[in-house]
């Protein structure tokens, strides 16, 4: 237990990095997911195909492989960015594919008549997506999006493998000094669990607020 308490500042620092990465990459993933789903349900065949390939590719690669590839591969071709930034971008691109799929199932759950009615009124495809289809689609997929958020939080720990000192890496460092893996990693695990519990709570609140009478 003292192993944990003696190193609270390191743990705190790691937790802050984890939370920053989680927030930044979730925002990025949401943006990527919106763009991809708009392409995927849209009327332009080329964009639909690109979006499909994007989703299929990213869902079939391990995130760790992408992280290693980006961190060690990009500098080779002259692209240099900070470790944490690189990790955030990779996680955003990766989780964006999952968000796009969740949103797409939401769009499919909305009757085609909603989009048709919007377009028949003169809204462009983008406007009908933004004002009519997506708001309703979102309210049906709050739970899956919450689950993606939690998975994303856990996935930020993979950044430890490429040298980002987030919560897991911080715990690992403390353990190298103290050699008390059980309290140290249980402590780190509890911190992740707390984030997940908060996400679950917020998801439930949002879901109830967005519930649409049908």
Partner 1 sequence: MIRVRGLNKWFGEHHVLHDVDLDVARGEVVVVIGPSGSGKSTLCRCLNRLEAADSGEILVDGVPVPGEGRALARLRADVGMVFQNFNLFQHKTVLENVMLAPTKVRGVSRAEAERTARELLARVGIAEQAGKQPARLSGGQQQRAAIARALAMRPKVMLFDEPTSALDPEMVGEVLDVMTGLAADGMTMVVVTHEMGFARRAADRVVFMDGGRIVETGEPNAFFDSPRTDRARDFLAKVLTH
Among candidates 64, 73, 66, 74, which has minimal Cα distance to 160? 64
Cβ atoms of residues 3 and 180 within 8 Å: yes
Binding residues for partner 1 restricted to 122-161, rule: CB under 8 A: 122-124, 127, 131-132, 135-136, 139
Site string for partner 1, 155-194 (x = CB under 8 A): ----------------------------------------
| Rounded-to-integer distance, Cα 98 and Cα 83, Å | 23
Answer for which of 77, 113, 182, 209 binds partner 1 (CB under 8 A) is: 113
State the minimum distance, in angstroms, from the CB of residue 115 to partner 1: 9
3-state secondary structure of 81: coil
State the minimum distance, in angstroms, from the CB of residue 122 to partner 1: 3
Q: Which is nearer to partner 1, 78 or 113 (CB)?
A: 113
| Rounded-to-integer distance, Cα 84 and Cα 22, Å | 11
Query: What is the SS3 assignment for 123-152?
Result: CCHHHHHHHHHHHHHHHHCHHHHHHHHHHH
Question: Which residues bind to partner 1, rule: CB under 8 A?
Answer: 43, 111, 113-114, 116-124, 127, 131-132, 135-136, 139, 212-214
């Amino acid at each position: 237990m003292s192993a944990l308490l003696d190193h609270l500042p390191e743990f705190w620092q790691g937790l802050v990095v984890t939370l920053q990465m989680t927030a930044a990459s979730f925002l990025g993933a949401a943006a990527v997911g919106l763009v991809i789903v708009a392409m995927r349900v849209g009327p332009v065949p080329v964009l639909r195909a690109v979006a499909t390939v994007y989703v299929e590719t990213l869902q079939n690669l391990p995130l760790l492989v992408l992280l290693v590839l980006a961190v060690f591969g990009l500098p080779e071709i002259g692209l240099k960015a900070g470790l944490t930034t690189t990790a955030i971008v990779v996680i955003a691109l990766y989780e964006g594919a999952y968000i796009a799929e969740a949103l797409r199932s939401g769009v499919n759950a909305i009757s085609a008549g909603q989009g048709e009615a919007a377009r028949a009124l003169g809204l462009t495809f983008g406007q009908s997506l933004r004002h009519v289809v997506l708001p309703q689609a979102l309210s049906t997929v709050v739970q899956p999006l919450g689950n993606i958020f939690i998975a994303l939080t856990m996935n930020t720990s993979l950044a430890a493998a490429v040298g980002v000192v987030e919560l897991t890496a911080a715990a690992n460092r403390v353990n190298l000094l103290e050699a008390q893996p059980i309290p140290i990693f249980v402590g780190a695990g509890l911190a992740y669990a707390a984030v997940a519990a908060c996400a679950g709570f917020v998801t439930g609140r949002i879901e109830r607020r967005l519930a649409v009478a049908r």
